[in-house]
Amino acid sequence: MQPSALAYVPFVSVDDMMKLVNGIGVADMIAGIADEIEADYRRWPEFDKTPRVPSHSEEGVIELMPTSDGETYGFKYVNGHPANMARGYQTVTAFGLLARVDTGYPILLSEMTILTALRTAAMSVVAARHLAPKGSKTLAIIGNGAQCEFQALGFQRCLGIETVRLYDIDARATAKAAANLAASGLNVIKCTTAEEVVQGAEIITTCTADKQYATILTDNMVGAGVHLNAIGGDCPGKTELHKDILLRSDIFVEYPPQTRIEGEIQQLDEDHPVTELWQVITGQATGRTDARQITLFDSVGFATEDFSALRYVHQRLEDMGHYAQLDMIADPDDPRDLFGMVMRAAPVEGAA
């Protein structure tokens, strides 16, 4: 018996994802995912929304991030283990799935370690389109680990950034990032302190990994007119910005019930005003209003963004290829006879 086409699920492996990224181009893929994210933010009320479901430990966190637009369901499994870097492992790993709501059948299973890096850069781009000073040319990145190059290339491609200033407490990470960006056309400046890296930057991205209340930026380091892209804080007990910066900033978030638990604003009172980014994108709220305003995108990552990224990959499979078909759905001739299907696959006694 041959399984029907519905029994097979397209699977994008790590190798497939790398081929897909290189076939499209890193910067172009970030731009494409950014467009999908923004399109989904414009229909924000259509989505089921819930804070991610975490399982915390002393070593890190494992999370599920589900959502649905009523036609397609998606989720991402993701971990965050800061100590993994010292073990030679990735700090963040992930995989994701899309399924049809009408049947419950999955239509895509994909690696998401690489895709999450692309999606995170794409989300930063979407926020900066609406919040960063117009004509920004200089980006500072504090934390030069796995996310750094994706952020730099995404901002170059989508916002016209020309100079990227890099700083990490580990100089080897900065050297790695600078080497990877050497052929990008960006003016790459390696810095030795956090105070140095922010000089002249209109956009500052913080993307550090330590799971602790940290002060990566102090109040005196952030001048008027800057856009802050805080993406490192993504769980309770983990922050990057001094509280006084938050009190001087107009704060924009993805989904307040999640961000108040995991983001920079966990340092503030629960009623501290924030603006949901989808409202800015749809014109229901204002973003940047004057040249001296400090805007802060307190990004923790939300399930709709992963949904958008998975949907983008699914749309590109037919023309790009780079996937396998997994036989992962039992498909008996008679849906009521799952047992019979199993028994018909049993070895025949006496068969050679």
What six digits make up the tokens of 89? Answer: 């492992």
DSSP string, 76-127: EEEEE-TTHHHHTS-S--EEEEEEETTT--EEEEEE-HHHHHHHHHHHHHHH
Distance CA 4, CA 327 (A): 10
Tokens of 221: 């380091």
Contact 60, 92 (CB under 8 A): no
What is the rounded CA–CA span in Å between residue 321 and residue 47? 29
Q: Please tell me which residue in 16, 234, 298, 306 is annotated as part of the active site.
A: 234
Strand partners, 73: 68, 99
* 337 tagged catalytic: no
- List Cα–Cα distances, 289 to 18, 31, 265, 278, in angstroms: 40, 25, 21, 17
The helix or strand, by DSSP H or E, that contains position 95, with its residue range, turns out to be strand 94-100
Do residues 95 and 111 lie in contact, with contact meaning Cβ atoms separated by under 8 Å?
yes
CA–CA distance, 218 with 220 (Å, rounded to integer):
6
**3-class secondary structure for 286-307?**
CCCCCCCCCEEEECCCCHHHHH
Count of other CB atoms within 10 angstroms of residue 70: 10
**Residue 24 burial (CB count, 10 A):** 17
Q: Which two tokens stand for residue 154?
A: 């995404």
CB 227 within 8 A of CB 203: yes
Residues identified as active-site: 234
